[in-house]
Amino acid sequence: MGRSPILRKVLRVSLLIGSFLVVLFCVTYRPWELHYGATREEIGRQMPGDEIVENPTFNATRAITIKAAPEDIWPWIVQIGYGKAGFYSHDWLDNAGISSAKEVIPEYQSLQAGDVIQLTKQETIRVESLDPNRSLVLVYGSESSPVFTWVWGLYPSDRERTRMVVRLRWHQDRARERIMTRLFEIIMMKRHLRGIRKRAVR
């Protein structure tokens, strides 16, 4: 028995809507999600730690202009962490509801390569390298099998402004992980960028 005209029409409309949503995702949402605030030059720029995760399934570069010098931004970056200054994002999601710090905390300023930072109560991330006032590279996973890198770079635009570029390179095998990252990671990262800018400028 063939399909009814109504069913065929519903299928065609569903296919058109589905195709439109796919195009909208690829043309509009995905570029915004992966490259929020970043220029073409920043997206293509080599950053410290790029070589660690060789074949990322998720490779995002985001950026924001901060009206402050790198040395005024750096203290806010090095003190991030669960149980420390927080992540300046949605604290109810990534910091157990504890408010992120609104001041520079002296005891959290002596970060060094090899140190570990709490991402959550159970998970940690390792400091791979840091160049004060220039870059910080964090690595999640073992040295032989890194899962993702989280990198900050500070690039002065002029005497008053700095471009803060944040790059996340992540290898995910599971489709569910990729989908969850696509849907929620940008929400946290956008708030993180603005949170640092707000504090550094103030």
Query: Do 24 and 44 share a domain, yes or no?
Result: no
pLDDT attached to residue 171? 84
More confident residue, 96 or 150: 150
Q: What is the pLDDT of residue 32?
A: 55
pLDDT for residue 2: 54
Q: How confident is the model at residue 183 (pLDDT cuts 50, 70, 90)?
A: low
Cα–Cα distance, 159 to 18 (Å, whole number): 49
Mean pLDDT of 179-195: 79
In a shared domain, residues 30 and 94: no
- Residue 89 CB neighbour total at 10 angstroms: 21
Choice between 108 and 14, residue whose per-residue pLDDT is larger:
108
- Token digits of residue 92: 């109810």
User: Three-state secondary structure along the chain?
Assistant: CCCCHHHHHHHHHHHHHHHHHHHHHHHHHHHHHHCCCCCHHHHHCCCCCCCCCCCCCEEEEEEEEECCCHHHHHHHHHCCECCCCECCCCHHHHCCCCCCCCCCCHHHCCCCCCCEEECCCCCEEEEEEEECCCEEEEEEECCCCEEEEEEEEEEECCCCCEEEEEEEEECCCCHHHHHHHHHHHHHHHHHHHHHHHHHHHC
Which pLDDT value is given to residue 172? Answer: 72
Q: Is the pLDDT of residue 185 over 60?
A: yes
pLDDT class of 23 with cuts at 50, 70, 90: very low
Residues 183 and 84 in one domain: yes
| pTM beyond 0.85 | no
What pLDDT score was predicted for residue 26? Answer: 47
pLDDT of 17 reads 59
83 & 176 share domain: yes
Same domain? 65 vs 145 = yes
- Examine the pLDDT at 57 and tell me if it is beyond 50: yes
| Domain of 149, in residue numbers | 37-201
The domain that holds 52 is classified in CATH as: 3.30.530.20
Pair 138, 187 in one domain? yes
Listed residue (90, 94, 150, 153) closest to 119, CA to CA = 94
Q: Assess whether 51 and 137 both reside in one domain.
A: yes
Instruction: Indicate if 88 and 29 belong to the same structural domain.
Output: no
Residues 29 and 58 in one domain: no
Averaged pLDDT score across all residues of the chain: 86
Kindly state whether residues 23 and 48 are assigned to the same domain. no
Each residue's pLDDT tens digit, 93-144: 888 899 999 999 999 999 999 999 999 999 999 999 999 999 999 999 988 8
In terms of domains, do 110 and 174 share one?
Answer: yes
Instruction: Examine the domain organization and report whether 63 and 13 are in the same domain.
Output: no
The CA distances from residue 24 to 19, 29, 53, 55, 181, in Å, are: 9, 7, 29, 26, 18
pLDDT at 189 over 70: yes
Residue 24's pLDDT is what?
Answer: 47
Number of separate domains in the chain: 2
Amino acid at 145: S
